[in-house]
Chains A and B, each alone.
Chain A
Amino acid sequence: MIYADNAATTKMSDKAIEVMTELLKSTYGNPSSLYEFGQQAKEVLEHAREDIASVIGASPRDITFTSGGSEADNQAIVSAATFGKKRGKTHIISTAFEHHAVLHTLKKLEKEGFEVTLLDVHEDGLVRPSEVESAIREDTCLVTVMYANNEIGTIQPISEIGAICRSHGVLFHTDAVQAVGHLPIDVEKENIDMLSASAHKFHGPKGTGFLYARKGINLTNIIEGGAQERGKRAGTENVPAIATMAEALKESVSRIDQTSARLTEVRDRIIEGIGNIPHSALNGDHAKRLPSNINFCFEGIEGESLLLLLDDKGIQASSGSACTSGSLDPSHVLLAIGRVHDVAHGSLRLSLGEDITDEESDYIVKSVSEVVTYLRSFSPVWRDLESGKTAHIL
C-alpha cells in the first residue's frame, strides 16, 4: 500500500504512539484537580504548551488547545469578529480557496451583518499581498489567509501579508493546518497574530490541535462550561493527546530540512512523470508549494473512477471531483484557480509521506498513466476532444 493522502491525515509516528500509550496509562488525572496526581497531569499539559510555543516562536500563554484545526479556525475568526464589532468594524478579508472551516464561519458571520471580501487566488493559487492591501478598509477587523492550501499545496506570502496587516492595524489569522510541522514557522518574524494547527497532520493524534493568539487578543469562547485554558475553552483537557501532539511536532520540526529536501525531489520526479500524460496540467504554482503536494487535472476523465482504480493498484489518493465531495460542484479550490467544471472533475491530489521510495514514486507515475489512459478509452468526453468535436483546453 502506498498511502499518498497525507494532506487528509497522517500516520502517527512510532514515537507518538509510544508517548501516548504511556500517558494514557500513567497520566489520566484531571489537570484541574488539586491533588498531586491531577497536578502531575497539569504539569505535562503546561510542558506541552511550552514545547509547542517554542517551536513556532511564541510564548506559552499564547497557545490555546482545541479539538483540532476547524475549532481553532472558528475560534480565531469569531474572536476577531467579536472584537471588531465592538469597535464598529465589520469587514473581513479572506480568500476564495480557504478551508470550509474558515469559509463556513465567514458565511455565518455574513448572516450576522459582516461584510466579507474573498480575494482572487489567481491561476497559480497565490494571493497577491498588494491586493490584500487594496482590500483593507477603515472598518476591516480581520484578514485570514491560509498558510498553505490543502488541495493544491501553494504556500502563501504570509509574512508580507502579515506586515501589511500590522501596518494597517488589522488582525491577521492564518489557517496553518497544512504547514505546521512541514514548513519552518515563526509567528513573530512572520507577523502572524493568530494561527490554527492540527496534530493529525504532522503524525500526531486526531481530535487535537491548537490556536496561537498573540498577547492582547481577547479570545471569545465557543465552548462554555469551565475554566480550562484560562477560561477560553471549556472541557477537560485531553492531556495524553496534547502532550503527544507536542512530541510529534518537535519530531517533525527536528527533521524538517531533510524531509523537505527529500520530498521535493520525489515530488518533482512525480510531477515530471505525470506531466508527460497528454492533456494534463499541474494545479497551482510549482515552486511555491508544499514539498509533499502534487495536484493534477486530466481532461476527459472523472476523479472518483481514477481514485477507485488507483486504490485497486494499492495507491490511496484524493480528488476534487464532485463525486468525491458529495455535492454537485467540484472543488472550490480548483474553481478558484480558474479550472472549468469539466476539467476540475478530473483532478487528482497526491500528498506524499516522508517514507516514500523512488520505486514507489515510479509506480505511482506508471499507475496514474495507465488508469488515465484506460478511463479515456471509453470516455465520450475524450472521444469528442480527440475527434476535434470539442477543443482541448489543457
Chain B
Amino acid sequence: MALYSEKVMDHFRNPRNVGVIEDADAVGEVGNAKCGDIMKMYMKIDDGIITDVKFETFGCGSAIASSSMATELIKGKPLTEAMQLTNKAVTEALDGLPAHKIHCSVLAEEAIKSALEDYENRKKQ
C-alpha cells in the first residue's frame, strides 16, 4: 500500500494555485521551519468573495497536497464559507491522510484563517 492516497499524490505532483499574488488583499503564513512545515497563502478578495488564491509551501508531500486542496476548496467562495473550512474537510477531500500527517491539514486550515484575519486587520486600518 502506498503511503498516500492517489488524490494526495495528484495534488502533490500537480499542485493547484501555486505561486504568489503580488497585490494580494490578504496574506497568511503559519508553521515554522524548525518543525519542517511553513504555509503561506495569498488572496484577492472582491466584494466578500475570494476571487483568487495562491500558496507557497515548505514541507512534506502531504503539506503541499493539503495547501493545494485547501486553495481549491475556497477559490471563488464567499469569505464566510472559507472561514468555516475545517482541516477535516481538507483531509476528506484528499481521501484521507496518514494519522501522523493530519497536522498538515490543520496547517492548511490555519493558513486560511491567518489570511482572513490579515484581511480583517487591513480593513480596520
Contact = CB atoms under 8 A, between A and B. Distances in A.
Interface of A: 300-305, 308-309, 312, 321-323, 326, 328, 330, 341-342, 345, 378-383
Contacts, number: 66
Given A302-B36, A322-B35, A383-B56, 14 more contacts: A300-B58, A305-B61, A308-B61, A321-B36, A322-B36, A323-B59, A323-B60, A330-B36, A342-B34, A345-B36, A378-B57, A381-B33, A381-B38, A383-B20
Interface string B1-28: 0000000010011010011100000000
Contacts of A330: 36
B2 to A, nearest CB: 10
Contact of A378 (B19, B33, B61): B19
Q: Which of A341, A378, A381 has the most CB of B within 10 A?
A: A378
Q: Would you call the interface of chain A mostly helix, strand, loop, or mixed?
A: helix
A73 to B, nearest CB: 26
Given A302-B60, A342-B33, A326 B100 contact: yes
> Which one of A301, A303, A312, A342 has the greatest number of beta carbons of chain B within 10 Å?
A342
Most chain B CB within a 10 A radius of its CB, from A301, A312, A322, A380: A380
Interface of B: 9, 12-13, 15, 18-20, 29, 33-40, 55-61, 63-64, 100-101
18 contacts: A301-B58, A302-B59, A305-B59, A305-B61, A309-B13, A312-B13, A321-B36, A323-B59, A323-B101, A326-B100, A328-B35, A341-B33, A342-B34, A378-B18, A378-B57, A379-B38, A380-B57, A381-B33
A316 B65 CA distance: 21
B35 to A, nearest CB: 6
A330 B37 CA distance: 12
B36 A380 contact: no
B96 to A, nearest CB: 17
B31 to A, nearest CB: 9
Nearest to B41: A380
B60 A304 contact: yes
A309 B60 CA distance: 11
A379 B36 contact: no
